[in-house]
Amino acid sequence: MNAPPISPARLTRESCSRRGIASVPAMGLTACLSLLLLTTLAWRNVPLTDPAVGTAGEAFDWASTDLTWWDVQRFKYHAETRLPQYRRQFQEAARIHGVPWTLLAAQAYQESRWDRHAVSQTGVRGIMMLTRNTASSLGIQNRTDPGKSIEGGARYLAGLERQISSRSGHPERIWIALAAYNVGMGHVKDAQHLARRMGKNPHSWEDIKTALPLVSQKKYYRTLRHGYARGWEPVQYVKRIRLYHALLEQYLRQI
């Protein structure tokens, strides 16, 4: 089963406690929350960097990135409380399969919030949310084993990236591979075919992500080999992973 959600009050209380704030008798939850808000407002003005691209982005603003203030606080909380127990496994799997460990960790956060027991309504489970069929193809019997899930997810992602044409440069291939991890390579290839039909570059993630949502529309998917898919989901999936990747890199620079 999924772990119960963390309430804002509990998250704030525990964040304050870790910073020694809650030990001050005169400071209640409201004051603590105000102090955390001021800290976050200062933190948000630090420019984010997309590490895979290596260029600075705009000053962080969760309103424009679909991340709420609590999304950011929850991420920082999980980075402090959950990530340390899996960090070496992410690093080792990333080293073996040639992907940045922070990107792999960001993908896992998007998948499961680094919860080894996470289960979706469709039956995917574990830190990397592997389907039963994918896990079987990777030789994984226990999807809730964090080491096996992380290594298997990294191996699967690297295998998807190898299937992508070299005409897609870096970091385009990794974004396309992440989309395929979410929706399947067949649907990604359909989106590339659509992009080509629309006069766009089928090897550019920026163009592919404009075509992917169209595979949910009948007038398009009935002409495609792999049919219908919720094509807007992989677009959001990749966007969130890139945000979490940037947040993680920033968090690691600050600790």
Mean pLDDT of all residues in 169-193 = 96
- Is the peptide bond between 100 and the residue preceding it cis, with omega within 30 degrees of 0? no
For the chain, residues classed under CATH 1.10.530.10 are: 87-162
* The pLDDT value given to residue 1: 41
**pLDDT of 177 strictly over 60:** yes
Catalytic, 161? Answer no
Q: Which of 26, 23, 22, 25 is nearest to 12 (CA)?
A: 22
The per-residue pLDDT for 24 is: 42
**pLDDT attached to residue 125:** 94
What is the SS3 assignment for 3-38? CCCCCHHHHHHHHHHHCCCCCCCCCCHHHHHHHHHH
23-62 pLDDT, tens digit per residue, is 444 456 565 555 455 445 444 444 455 555 443 344 444 4
Given a cut of 90, whether residue 80 has pLDDT beyond it is yes
Residue 214 has pLDDT above 70, yes or no: yes
- pTM for the complete prediction? 0.80
What is the DSSP-derived secondary structure letter of residue 2?
A: P
3-12, 41-50, 120-129, 179-188 — most confident range:
179-188
Q: What is the average pLDDT across 231-236?
A: 97
Least confident interval from 67-76, 131-140, 185-194:
67-76
User: For residue 234, how many other CB atoms are within 10 A of its CB?
Assistant: 27
pLDDT at 14: 57
Tell me, what's the pLDDT at 53?
46
Class for domain 87-162, per CATH? mainly alpha
Q: Of the given ranges (8-22, 157-171, 206-220, 228-242), which has the lowest mean pLDDT?
A: 8-22
Q: Backbone phi, then psi, for 198, in 5-degree steps?
A: -85, 5
Beta bridge partners of 55: 50
202 pLDDT more than 60: yes
pLDDT average, residue stretch 204-228: 97
Q: Are 187 and 215 in contact (CB under 8 A)?
A: yes
Average pLDDT in the 59-69 region? 62
Look at 54 and 189; give whichever has higher pLDDT: 189
Q: Which of 111, 151, 161, 172 is catalytic?
A: 111
